[in-house]
């Protein structure tokens, strides 16, 4: 359980740092004066994730989980120091890239360590870690905003540094790699495990579901706040509260969703998550009542959590079926597919906002999700490598 605690703390820290800087964006010493600059900072974060994920996935499978997790913490410290002390926009972008690289190390090596240590109840263990990450995403913006208002710009980063000390101690003490001889015995036979996994049709189909789930949630984040403010006359704080409560429900449901995956298997749960999201999406615009919108969004959040748990579990199962110990490469595929889905959802959100009504946009995405559920219907759990 010490490993589970260390990885959950690592994921909490990852989410906490991401959320911490959200309310600080307009207060950076580096000039962010418009939405374009703010968007570029998030693009830099995504680039850090995309560039570092294959590297950390390969290094983790070849040389162990401990060092990449410690490197990830170093990148977190570096990015936080630049956030606190940087004075130019390029420095801010570099901090975002370093933050994305830290996330890549945590998500590949951390999930890989969890997958290889917990063969029984793996979905539930993954759910606990996801709960830690989501709690960090929820708590981070609150802490960042409160400390900024009470004690100034540097205070949130001092709090983050204190958290890094606890996280680093847990990583250093609790995380140990197998002996060199044991790791050599478990090394993957493939020279390029990431490329090898991409020849497995179950991995490709799982990646497709990851893209669909990430894109649908990104679309909601891009378009729903505007609808709530204009159509439902909701204040910015009300919009934030609705999304926060949805994230909290998702966080506390994660272990239970993981248990569902363990009981019924990834593919039935994957189909259920796509169908539930598809059914709920069009109903987001049927009411102008904030409470009703919040209830529907909460259900979609639970379905999104089910998508995350099922796809993570299936990627780990795909590694088990192939043999070897290339979990980090499998979760690198998850990171890449999720980043592609988020970027696609953001782009689609901008296009839909200009071309069609919000309800039409959500109905179109719902049709994509239902098509995806039909496409994976009856997909077997046995490996289907090309």
200 beta partners:
385
Q: Which residues, given as ranges, of the chain have pLDDT below 70? A: 1, 25-26, 29-39, 178-192, 236-237, 324, 346, 349-350, 352-354, 378-386
121 phi-psi bin (left φ>0, alpha ψ -120 to 50, beta other): left
State residue 386's pLDDT score: 41
Q: Is residue 103 a contact partner of residue 18, using CB atoms and an 8 Å limit?
A: yes
Domains along the chain? 2-187 (1.20.1250.20), 194-375 (1.20.1250.20)
How far, in Å, CA of 98 to CA of 78, rounded? 7
State residue 170's pLDDT score: 93
Chain segment 166-222, per-residue pLDDT in tens: 999 999 998 887 654 455 445 555 556 777 788 888 899 999 999 999 888 888 877
State residue 384's pLDDT score: 43
Spatial CB neighbours of 213, under 8 Å, sequence gap ≥ 6 = 273, 274, 277, 304, 307, 308, 311, 341
> 3-class secondary structure for 75-112?
HHHHHHHHHHHCCCHHHHHHHHHHHHHHHHHHHHHHHH
State residue 251's pLDDT score: 78
Please report where in the chains the tokens 């709530």 appear, as a residue: 228
How large is the C-alpha radius of gyration of the chain?
20
């Amino acid at each position: 359980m010490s490993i589970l605690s260390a990885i959950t703390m690592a994921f909490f820290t990852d989410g906490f740092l991401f959320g911490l800087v959200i309310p600080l964006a307009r207060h950076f010493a580096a000039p962010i004066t418009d939405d374009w600059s703010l968007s570029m900072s998030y693009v830099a974060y995504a680039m850090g994730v995309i560039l570092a994920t294959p590297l950390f996935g390969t290094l983790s499978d070849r040389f162990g989980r401990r060092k990449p997790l410690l490197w990830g913490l170093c990148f977190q410290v570096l990015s936080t120091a630049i956030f606190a002390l940087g004075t130019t926009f390029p420095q801010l972008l570099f901090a975002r890239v370093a933050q994305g690289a830290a996330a890549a190390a945590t998500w590949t090596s951390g999930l890989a360590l969890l997958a290889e240590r917990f063969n029984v109840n793996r979905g539930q263990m993954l759910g606990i870690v996801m709960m830690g990450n989501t709690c960090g995403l929820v708590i981070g913006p609150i802490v960042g905003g409160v400390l900024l208002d009470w004690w100034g710009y540097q205070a949130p980063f001092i709090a983050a540094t204190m958290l890094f000390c606890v996280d680093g101690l847990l990583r250093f003490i609790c995380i140990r790699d197998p002996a060199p001889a044991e790791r050599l015995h478990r090394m993957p036979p493939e020279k390029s495990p990431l490329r090898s996994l991409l020849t497995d049709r179950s991995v490709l189909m799982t990646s497709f579901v990851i893209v669909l789930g990430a894109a649908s949630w990104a679309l909601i984040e891009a378009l729903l706040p505007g609808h709530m403010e204009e159509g439902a006359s909701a204040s910015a704080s009300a919009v934030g509260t609705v999304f926060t409560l949805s994230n909290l429900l998702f966080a506390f449901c994660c272990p239970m969703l993981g248990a569902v995956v363990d009981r019924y298997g990834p593919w039935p749960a994957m189909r259920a998550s796509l169908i539930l999201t598809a059914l709920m999406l069009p109903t987001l615009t049927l009411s102008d009542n904030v409470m009703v919108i919040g209830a529907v969004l909460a259900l979609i959040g639970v379905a999104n959590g089910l998508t995350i748990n099922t796809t993570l579990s299936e990627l780990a199962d795909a590694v088990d079926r192939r043999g070897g110990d290339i979990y980090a490469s499998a979760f690198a595929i998850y990171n890449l597919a999720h980043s592609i889905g988020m970027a696609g959802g953001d782009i689609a959100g901008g296009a839909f906002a200009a071309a069609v009504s919000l309800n039409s946009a959500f109905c179109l995405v719902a049709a994509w999700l239902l098509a995806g559920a039909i496409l994976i219907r009856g997909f077997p759990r046995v490996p289907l490598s090309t």
